[in-house]
Amino acid sequence: MVGKERVEDLAIAGGPPAFRESLHVGRPNIGDRARLLERINDLLDRRWLTNDGRYVRELEAELARRIGVRHCLAVCNATLGLQLAARALDLSGEVIVPAFTFVATAHALQWLGIAPVFADIDPRTHNIDPAHVEALVNERTTGILGVHLWGRACDVRALAAIARRHRLRLLFDAAHAFGCSHDGRSLGSFGDAEVLSFHATKYVNSFEGGAVTTDDDTLAARVRAMRNFGLAGGDRAASLGTNAKMSEVAAAMGLTSIEGAEEVAAINRAHHAAYRRGLAGVPGLAVVTYPDGERHNHQFVVLEIDAGPAGLHRDDLDEVLRAEGILARRYFHPGCHRAEPYRSRPSASELPHTDAVAARVLSLPTGPAVDVESIALICRIIRLAVDAADRVRAHVANARRGRGAEGVC
Ligand SMILES: *Cc1c(COP(=O)(O)O)cnc(C)c1O
């Protein structure tokens, strides 16, 4: 492993990169390959590839049991899951969402002709601010779509109270939240419905996939019909539907992934602790923490960089790491309100906390694809960069100028 003792050792200053093979955020967790292939062989032998097959049913039962809900409807991805849930809840007009989330949260609504109205976040939790939500409610509002960002529960109690007061539906984007709890209760079991993602980059994956979870029998029946063309037994369409079914091969991966989930969470937890240890006391840096006494998947290691005390802006540090082969991600910069088609809307809103947090977060590589030795080295590089912030800033500026010159040639 490359030594990083002095500023000159940093790749941004001309030293050799710490990692010849780049480290990524969100490397897929593959799980038990033999078990997966066994299931795939079985579904091929049975020639049952999709349409409410054995593995989809098994996955739904397993998820419903683990989350503690009456109904779990597997779907081909969370974006369509959000759309089915929004339609099944008769959402229309405006729905209030946080801007600090993956753009799919907002797009899922806009795709249905529902306007996402962006609320600011609480900068301490990174989650939607209930006070701002209530201020945004008007006669066109039909629902609230909260996001459990980083798998940390948003303020479900306050949001439920607002929904009750204004007769709004309450939906949650739980794409980060499988394996997490709040007040001892699994995320995925709150509000009128929740939507999980099993995209390849998530803690549990089914290649692509998701699920709608709810205790509401009528809602579940509507989602079930909608995901399968609105068919009501046999070939007769009884209502408008689309195709959002999960395939059997995806469910086979999902089941295998769930079997390995505890192990992945334990690795993530150890990695999270290693980052916290490795970065303890570095001025201006803080790793986002997760609540004690709750279950958590520790899927994200989110570093917050306060440019004042650190002497480096988040983007400078990102550049330093990139040169070393550490491909961090600026999730979720710059916030949905600054993405199209929303930023051009005449009603575009000012969200100071979203802007501030989006400018200082950096997601670092974790998961089984990374080891603790690599994490120790990443922390050493970050510490070194902050210690010599003035010189590092000059090197970053040089590197940017160099790239600019290349552009001109
Ligand atoms: C990944 C993600 C989604 C989209 O999930 P897909 O299954 O890829 O459609 C939605 N919301 C958030 C917060 C996400 O991180």
Whether 227 and 178 share a structural domain:
yes
Cα separation values, 383 from 24, 34, 380, Å:
20, 41, 5
Tokens of 32: 């038990």
Distance CA 110, CA 88 (A): 16
- Asked if residue 242 belongs to a domain, the reply is yes
209 in Cβ contact with 202 (< 8 Å): no
Q: Which of 225, 259, 293 is the C-terminal boundary of a domain?
A: 259
Whole-number Å distance, alpha carbon 123 to ligand 1 midpoint, is 21
Residue 99 sits in the same domain as residue 139:
yes
Give residues (CB < 6 A) around ligand 1: 77-79, 101-102, 104-105, 147, 173, 175-176, 197, 199, 210
- Which residue among 145, 154, 199 has the greatest number of ligand 1 atoms within 8 angstroms of its CB, and so is best to mutate? 199
Which residue's entry shows tokens 């505890």? Answer: 262
By the 8 A CB rule, do 191 and 146 touch? yes
In a domain, 24, yes or no: no
Considering the domain architecture, whether residues 94 and 63 belong to the same structural domain is answered as: yes
Kindly state the DSSP code that residue 10 receives in the 8-state scheme. S
Rounded distance from Cα 148 to ligand 1 centre (Å): 11
The answer to whether 250 and 209 are in contact (CB under 8 A) is yes
- CATH code for position 191: 3.40.640.10
Query: Which of 208, 226, 259 is a domain's end point?
Result: 259
- Cα–Cα distance for residue pair 59/97, rounded to 1 Å: 29
273 and 376 in a single domain? The answer is yes
Q: Check whether residue 265 and residue 251 sit in a common domain.
A: no
Q: Which ligand 1 atom minimizes the distance to the CA of 201?
A: 1
Domain assignment present for 16: no
Rounded to two decimals, the pTM is 0.96
The DSSP 8-state label assigned to residue 17 in this structure reads P
Sorted by sequence, the CB contacts under 8 Å of residue 238 that are 6+ apart come out as 225, 230, 231, 232
For residue 103, the CA-to-ligand 1 centroid distance in Å is 8
**Ordered per-residue pLDDT tens for the chain, 409 residues:** 568 999 999 999 999 999 999 999 999 999 999 999 999 999 999 999 999 999 999 999 999 999 999 999 999 999 999 999 999 999 999 999 999 999 999 999 999 999 999 999 999 999 999 999 999 999 999 999 999 999 999 999 999 999 999 999 999 999 999 999 999 999 999 999 999 999 999 999 999 999 999 999 999 999 999 999 999 877 899 999 999 999 999 999 999 999 999 999 999 999 999 999 999 999 999 999 999 999 999 999 999 999 999 999 999 999 999 999 999 999 999 999 999 999 998 776 789 999 999 999 999 999 999 999 999 999 999 999 999 999 999 999 999 998 876 544 4
Q: Do the domain assignments include residue 187? A: yes
Look at ligand 1, atom 2, and give the residue with the nearest C-alpha: 175
Pocket test for ligand 1, best of 76, 79, 180, 363 (most atoms within 8 A of CB): 79
E strand or H helix at 24, and its extent?
strand 23-24
**Could you tell me where the DSSP H helices lie in 47-187?**
54-67, 78-88, 104-110, 130-136, 156-166
Q: Residues 255, 120: one domain?
A: yes
Q: Classify residue 345 by burial, with Cβ atoms within 10 Å: 0-12, 13-18, 19+.
A: middle
Is the same domain home to 155 and 278?
no
Asked if 255 and 388 sit in the same domain, the reply is: no
Domain assignment of residue 87, given as a range:
33-259
Q: How far apart are CA 189 and CA 214, in angstroms?
A: 7
For residue 169, being part of any structural domain is answered with yes
Are residues 123 and 248 part of one domain?
yes
Specify whether 131 is located in the same domain as 269.
no
How many domains does the structure of the chain reveal?
A: 2
- Asked if 316 and 271 sit in the same domain, the reply is yes
361 near 54, Cβ under 8 Å?
Answer: no
Ligand 1 centroid to Cα of residue 37, in Å, is: 26
- Whole-number Å distance, alpha carbon 92 to ligand 1 midpoint, is 21
Write out the two tokens for 283.
């001025």
Closest CA to 242 of 54, 106, 87, 56: 87
Domain finish residue from 259, 276, 303: 259
Q: Give the chain's length.
A: 409
One domain, residues 78 and 126: yes
* CB-count exposure of residue 395 (10 Å: 0-12, 13-18, 19+): buried
From the alpha carbon of 104, which atom of ligand 1 is closest?
A: 10
